Amino acid sequence: GIPIGEGGTTTKNLHNFSVKCQSLRWVIIDEISMVSALLLGRLEKLMTKVARRRCIYRCRPDRSRRPFGGVNMLLCGDFFQLKPVRGLSLYDNWADASTEVEYDGMKLLWGIPKKEAVHRCWNLKESLRCSDPWYHEFLNRCRHGNLTCRFHQLIHGFPTSMAITAEEEYSN
């Protein structure tokens, strides 16, 4: 229901969006790697525009405005996964930003001053999706681009010199 596409910011849409956002305190974006810098920048501008003037969270005590109209943002994802279908990904070079809104989207995640950007980041290192040690090691090697020849041969059904055990591959 976020009117940020082409022609999506009509006065009626902004009013409806504003009504929906009046009691909003959190926005959770999953799969942040698929969100373009332009989309994040447009979302920030839109949420700031529709935030109520009397909202106590819109401004800081020094009267400077908060990003996203003072709404808390929780961004979850893995930048090793898919890039956005269109646009500059949030982990690309800032110099590649073609518009001011796209640049502002990048600044929201990586910018200075810190009060205008992400405040905290947690790096989760333990995978809970896979309990098989060998398969877990295989996925990690694929993720980081260091698949050994033996893993490659085994996965593609090619002959290997010997059976692969998890302990053997961990030591390489």
- What does the pLDDT look like over 123-140, one tens digit per residue? 887 777 788 888 888 888
Query: To which residue do tokens 């698929």 refer?
Result: 34
More confident residue, 14 or 69: 69
Task: Tokens for 161, please give them.
Answer: 């010199």
Cα-Cα-Cα-Cα dihedral sign, residues 111, 113, 119, 125: positive
DSSP summary character for residue 30: S
Q: Is the pTM of this model over 0.75?
A: no
Length of the chain equals 172
> pLDDT band at residue 166, thresholds of 50, 70 and 90?
low
User: Among the residues of 32-165, which ranges form H helices?
Assistant: 37-50, 100-110, 133-144, 149-155
Of residues 115 and 107, which shows the higher confidence score?
Answer: 107
pLDDT band, residue 157 (cuts 50/70/90):
confident
pLDDT tens per residue, range 69-114: 888 899 998 888 888 988 899 989 888 999 999 999 998 888 876 7
Best CA proximity match to 170, nearest among 143, 145, 144, 138: 138
Reading the block at residue 75, the tokens are 């961004």
pLDDT digits (tens, 9 = 90+) for 28-46: 999 999 999 999 998 898 8
79 touches 88 (CB < 8 A): no
Mean pLDDT for the chain overall:
80
| Confidence at residue 88, expressed as pLDDT on a 0 to 100 scale | 93
